[in-house]
Amino acid sequence: MQKQGKPKRLRKPQSQARPGHQSEMKPVPVTKPRPYTNGRLFNKVALITGGDSGIGRAVAELFASEGAKVAIAYLNEHKDAKETKRLVDAYTECLLLPGNLSDERHCRQAVQAAFKAFGRIDILVNNAAMHYESKEIKDISNAQLIKTFANNFFPYFWITKAVVSRMKRGSAIINTSSVTAYRGSDSLIDYASTKGAIVSFTRSLSSNLVKRGIRVNGVAPGPIWTPLITYSFTPKKIAKFGSDAPMERAGQPAEVAPSYLFLACDDSAYMTGQFLHPNGGEIVNG
């Protein structure tokens, strides 16, 4: 077992009679609200995977409205990506990075291109994902299992590995998991497994980077209306999508994006290794 030193003394020893008086504390606690004005990400650069549509687009536009320059990595959805660029360019600057993120070399190249264009990367949002519906585990082929992990988990690791060495103290990494990581999914077994891996990856990485001043958190959305849904399920299931959530509806990407903004800016300066759960009211542990 590693020997631990004495804990650091952060303030002078002190005590008060109950109930205590804040004015006599040394130092006095900071309670003044932070000013909520536009520009919480001013002069920041964000790299967002899966930024062409859905949650990624909503995050890209919101970040840009708060002053961040944005690079979005996506596969080949060029029409959607160009629309995201148009929306971001209305505020700041947007760089498009098409290509297959399941290729480690491309992940490194995307990071290099973003850094070359903007000179820094302050925020990384790992968000790209896909899934297939399968009724039974026997229906999940090895090829599908490998492809799901190659799309949903490996790029998070590879891009983060390439970005971390370029990040400075105060930077933030935000990983997209899913409510399925916490309660499972009988028809998305391989997908839910990748999302569980992302939770463990986030918590482990946060511990690894905490002393470098890089915060690592995540968002675990519930049913959100994105293109992922329209190509994954049957028309009948799509018609009812989200109705089983406590709020009895699917969420919109714009309702999820503020969670990413909170974790990206200094409002969440005392959070790392945590997940936010915009999921329509489902109670989960974690």
- Catalytic residue positions, numbered: 191
Report the alpha-carbon distance of residue 264 to residue 283 in Å, rounded.
24
CB 118 within 8 A of CB 69: yes
Tokens representing 192? 């839910």
- 3-state SS string over 189-203? HHHHHHHHHHHHHHH
The angle formed by the CA atoms of residues 200, 206 and 210, to the nearest 5 degrees, is 160
Report the alpha-carbon distance of residue 5 to residue 35 in Å, rounded.
39
Instruction: Give me the count of residues in the chain.
Output: 286
Residue 97: which H helix or E strand, with range? strand 94-98
Report the alpha-carbon distance of residue 215 to residue 253 in Å, rounded.
23
Strand partners, 122: none
